[in-house]
Amino acid sequence: MDYVWAFIIGGAICVVGQLLLSLTRLTPARILVLFVTAGVFLTALGAYEPLVELAGAGATVPLTGFGYALGTGAIEGAMENGVIGAFAGGITATAGGIAAAIVFGYINAVIFTPKTKKPKSPKA
């Protein structure tokens, strides 16, 4: 049943993203920022933790999960070290994921030789 909930919750988050792309004029970058901010905001309200407990990776893998990790780290850091901990806690909590993204991105670039996209020439 854990897999079913992960699929439903993760899929619902992705559906929201697709609806925002299709029905609004928001750019993908703004939607990404919106998702991370929503994850932090819902974590601060205590609403995202039950979702993580129910869906597991279905709630932590999408960008809202990154916001959840930032928010959780900031809250824990603030409780331990005050204001400075609020800033350092989010960075500490997400450092492993960011480092992994950089390393795997580099390995991917070495293996597959990235190329820049050529702009399409306008028809005369």
67 neighbors 75 (Cβ within 8 angstroms): no
Does a structural domain hold residue 120? no
Rounded mean pLDDT of 36-43?
95
Rounded mean pLDDT of 102-120?
84
Does a structural domain hold residue 96? yes
Does a structural domain hold residue 67? yes
Residue 32: what pLDDT? 94
Owning domain of residue 99: 2-112
Does a structural domain hold residue 119? no
**Neighbour-count burial of 40, counting CB atoms closer than 10 A to its CB (0-12 exposed, 13-18 middle, 19+ buried):** buried
Give the HSE-up count for residue 27: Cα atoms under 13 Å, Cβ half-sphere: 3
Does a structural domain hold residue 24? yes
Residue 76: what pLDDT? 94
Does a structural domain hold residue 124? no
**pTM of the full structure:** 0.78
Does a structural domain hold residue 99? yes
Mean pLDDT of the chain: 91
Rounded mean pLDDT of 11-24?
95
User: Does residue 124 carry a pLDDT above 70?
Assistant: no
Number of domains in the chain: 1
Query: Could you report the per-residue pLDDT of 47-100, keeping only the tens digit for each?
Result: 999 999 999 999 998 899 999 999 999 999 999 999 999 989 999 999 998 999
Does a structural domain hold residue 81? yes
